[in-house]
Structure 1
Amino acid sequence: MSMHAPPVPPLAATAPTTSDVPTMDVDPFSDEVLVDPLPFHEALRETGPLVLLERYGIYGMGRYEEVHAALVDWQGFQSAAGVGLSNFRRETPWRPPSLLLETDPPHHDAPRHVLEPILAPRSLRRLRERWAAAAETFVDELLEREEVDAVRDIAETFPLRVFPDAVGLPQEGRQHLLPYGDHLFNAFGPDNHLVEKGKARIGAIAASVDAQCRRDVLSPDGFGAQIWAAADRGDITHAQAPTIVRSLLSAGVDTTVHALGGVLQGFLRFPDQWQVLRAQPSRARVAFDEAIRWESPVQTFFRTATRDIAVAGGVVPEGEKILMFLGSANHDPRRWHDPDRFDLDRDPSGHVGFGMGIHQCVGQHVARLEAESLLHALARRVERIEPAGEPRRHLNNTMRAWASMPVRLVAA
């Protein structure tokens, strides 16, 4: 007779269930959270690696490890059902889905392969001198004024000077780019008052943006013309070309604007870091990426489970939405030391502010070059950036943004 008891199965052998997921009854799209999401993010991370957000019946992730894993798992968490709260399996999207953000392989492959070489660092070399000169002229103009609004006069103005020209857009209609992007990123969230305020104008604005993507209005030497040339080669269809140009306009303006607002706010909050940049302007790129981590202009993205997926002791059922809090992951103390500090001595390269995996932002090198050009010019000419009034947040369901940031630029 054996004296040994039968082996006990390990705990991991018990399949996790949806009942193992803790819940939170907080609206992450409330004005209070959008103004200052950091307290909610901390509560979300401490509640668990996977949390059921009862208000919308969706699953939330706020810790770096789980957010990163979900971003790279396009097979398990698809983008094709929409990267917003709306589930394209059950609802009709308000506009034709993006061929980059809202598709998965194989449909995602051709548009991505067309854009990658057009927006690669090597291809952008021809713009470096032009944008550096534009930044020098721009800073000259800023220094003629005693005070400026760092949002309206800097973060919004410089990208809209250089980026539309690089795409090859006509002058007519450029004023619609920021309102279009604002509504687009609002529409990724619930149908709240932020979405409602844009509905009256979005039809005309969207029509204007679509018109700017036509071949006949684009200049022959910009990104847009290169996309249409790819259609002529058969790399994409001619029907896809304007939608891919539109992706550049919807994702390439607001994100850069709000990232620049974030980096300027970082220097206001941590003025010692401005002196670090002045001493070493080569750190401009690090400063921009640290701002993407610290401010996280794109705060959230949704995915949809393609099957029942176990996540850290819980289960996301097939067909259900997950909400990845990129801003929370970028402040997770499990991954980042002193995460609430804007610090140019940090290596921010692991941040998820541009996404991760096959859907990582294809235009990130363009945004970095815009920021690098501007920050180099400012660092050479501006001794201090001082607050000249209270900054004010701009609320958006997806973006962390500023509406106003009065500053005083003290010339070197």
Structure 2
Amino acid sequence: MTTTAPCPLPTSPADPFDLDLLEDPLAFQADLRDAGPVVYLEKYGVYAMGRYEQVRAALTDWQSFQSAAGVGLSNFRFEKPWRPPSVLLEADPPFHDAPRAVLTKVLGPRALLRLRDEWIADADRLVAQVLDTGVEIDAVPALAQAFPLRVFPDAVGLREAGRENLLPYGNLTFNAFGPHNSLVQAGEPLVAGLSAWVNEQCRRENLSDNGFGAQIWAASDRGDITPTQAPLIVRSLLTAGVDTTVNGLAAVLYAFATHPEQWQRVREDPSLARTAFDEAVRWESPVQTFFRTATSDIRVGDVTIPDGEKILMFLGAANRDPRRWTRPDDFDLHRDPSGHVGFGMGIHQCVGQHVARLESEALLSALARRVTAIEPAGTPQRHLNNTLRSWESIPLRLIT
């Protein structure tokens, strides 16, 4: 990192979307934090924040750091979105309020209480099936992907046919928040087909009568939201409700394989399963970055971010900021991970985070009842994405 005089703004020539940095971003993120509270990324002409204090403040100040101009590199003030913007993620009050209120109610405590026993039983069945195949598994397809894809589409009310499209569509969507690099280009042939499939699933007639999707359409019937908003809210569930949970589960399983003493703590006290998931979300940050746009000239420390400029917030860097966390690179269940920004913060905080926590609790509790140790069984492989911290493969040995 270098500082260009006389402006106090630190600058960096690094490309955070370079494939090598996506593979291993930790050294870059440490440099970003050390350079200052705001750093100018020359490659894209955007401002960046990597420290916890500034990232958290920007996430909670939607009036100054808007989402409506897009949470990716594209600036919707000047560029046309590749799909209709999300009425949750890419909207601000007042347009954001009604969809958020509906989805908060649909995914509220009563819904989770209704699903809890069913999901715990389903997790037990999955773990039993996995163990029947042998002690060595690839945890990504066998557990991290399998469990959310078993329970969440049913809860939404999706048909069985085509569910294999959910992860590719999410991968494409989260890649699109970054630059038009090789990852985006690789997905371009799939855009039309996957988008058409997802949009079709959001139609009322293609959803079951008793799932989250039906409840969203019922809110439209009551006038809480418009008929135009309803399918977009269902689409938000399908976009963000699977990939982030899959990567959170992969992160916590990898954490236990590399920190065996922490797995023993969960086995001794299963109530730590939820803490473990949040600590893994802090430690790995499945969602690494999101953009905001300045609504006016904004002063951050000694730096003024001009109106209309893009700000890239590094959630992963903030979640490992030593100014906020003691020994931040450690996965440690003695830590209270509450306050991490892995699910965002403020009015755009992930509305489905409690669903993800329930899925994790169910799966980890099922494993804790049967598995005495989780060990690495090979070299894990990353799946690169412009926004997500993902795994392609995590070979594990489950000792019973």
Contact 1:18 1:317 in 2 (8 A): no
Counterpart for residue 79 of structure 1: 67
Please, which of 67, 70, 90 is the counterpart of residue 58 of structure 2? Answer: 70
Q: With structure 1 as the length reference, what TM-score do the two structures score?
A: 0.95
Paired-residue identity, %: 66
Q: How does 1:41-56 map to 2 (within 5 A)?
A: 41-56=29-44
Counterpart for residue 12 of structure 1: none
- Whichever residue aligns with residue 230 of structure 1, its letter is A
Deviation of the 1:309 alpha carbon: 0.1
Alpha-carbon distance change, 185 to 229 in structure 1, aligned in 2, over 3 angstroms: same
- Where 1:264 maps in the other structure, the secondary structure is helix
* CA deviation vs aligned residue, 1:173-226 (integer Å, no higher than 9, x gap): 211100000000000000000000000011101100111111001111100000
Please, which of 216, 233, 240 is the counterpart of residue 222 of structure 2? Answer: 233
- Whichever residue aligns with residue 137 of structure 1, its letter is R
Please, which of 122, 130, 133 is the counterpart of residue 134 of structure 1? Answer: 122
Counterpart for residue 114 of structure 1: 102
Q: Distance in 2 between matches of 1:121 and 1:233?
A: 21
Q: How does 1:8-47 map to 2 (within 5 A)?
A: 19-47=7-35
Deviation of the 1:19 alpha carbon: 2.6
* CA deviation vs aligned residue, 1:333-354 (integer Å, no higher than 9, x gap): 0000000011111100010000
* Stretches of structure 1 lacking an aligned partner (at least 5 in a row): 1-16
- Whichever residue aligns with residue 142 of structure 1, its letter is V
Please, which of 236, 244, 250 is the counterpart of residue 247 of structure 1? Answer: 236
Runs of 4+ that moved beyond 2 A: 17-20
Counterpart for residue 8 of structure 1: none
Contact 1:18 1:316 in 2 (8 A): no
Contact 1:63 1:329 in 2 (8 A): yes
Counterpart for residue 409 of structure 1: 398
Deviation of the 1:123 alpha carbon: 2.4
How many residue pairs get aligned? The number is 395
* CA deviation vs aligned residue, 1:41-82 (integer Å, no higher than 9, x gap): 000001111000000000000000000000000000000000
Q: How does 1:201-220 map to 2 (within 5 A)?
A: 201-220=190-209
Is 1:161 the counterpart of 2:150 in the alignment?
A: yes
Deviation of the 1:268 alpha carbon: 1.1
Q: Distance in 2 between matches of 1:183 and 1:315?
A: 34
Deviation of the 1:276 alpha carbon: 0.4
- Whichever residue aligns with residue 213 of structure 1, its letter is C
Is 1:170 the counterpart of 2:148 in the alignment?
A: no
- Where 2:7 maps in the other structure, the secondary structure is helix
Alpha-carbon distance change, 145 to 191 in structure 1, aligned in 2, over 3 angstroms: same
Q: Distance in 2 between matches of 1:279 and 1:167?
A: 34
Q: Distance in 1 between matches of 2:258 and 2:318?
A: 21
- Where 1:403 maps in the other structure, the secondary structure is strand
Contact 2:65 2:294 in 1 (8 A): yes
* CA deviation vs aligned residue, 1:212-267 (integer Å, no higher than 9, x gap): 11100111110000000000000001111111000000010000000000001110
- Whichever residue aligns with residue 197 of structure 1, its letter is A
Counterpart for residue 14 of structure 1: none
- Whichever residue aligns with residue 77 of structure 1, its letter is F
Is 1:346 the counterpart of 2:366 in the alignment?
A: no
Q: Distance in 2 between matches of 1:19 and 1:102?
A: 32
Counterpart for residue 210 of structure 2: 221
Contact 2:71 2:290 in 1 (8 A): yes
Q: Distance in 1 between matches of 2:25 and 2:6?
A: 26
Q: Distance in 1 between matches of 2:111 and 2:141?
A: 29
Deviation of the 1:18 alpha carbon: 9.7
* Stretches of structure 2 lacking an aligned partner (at least 5 in a row): none
Q: Distance in 1 between matches of 2:346 and 2:362?
A: 27
Q: Distance in 2 between matches of 1:236 and 1:97?
A: 16
- Where 1:291 maps in the other structure, the secondary structure is helix
Q: Distance in 1 between matches of 2:205 and 2:7?
A: 56
Counterpart for residue 251 of structure 2: 262
Is 1:61 the counterpart of 2:49 in the alignment?
A: yes
Contact 1:18 1:314 in 2 (8 A): no
Query: What is the RMSD of the two structures over their aligned residues, measured on CA atoms?
Result: 1.0
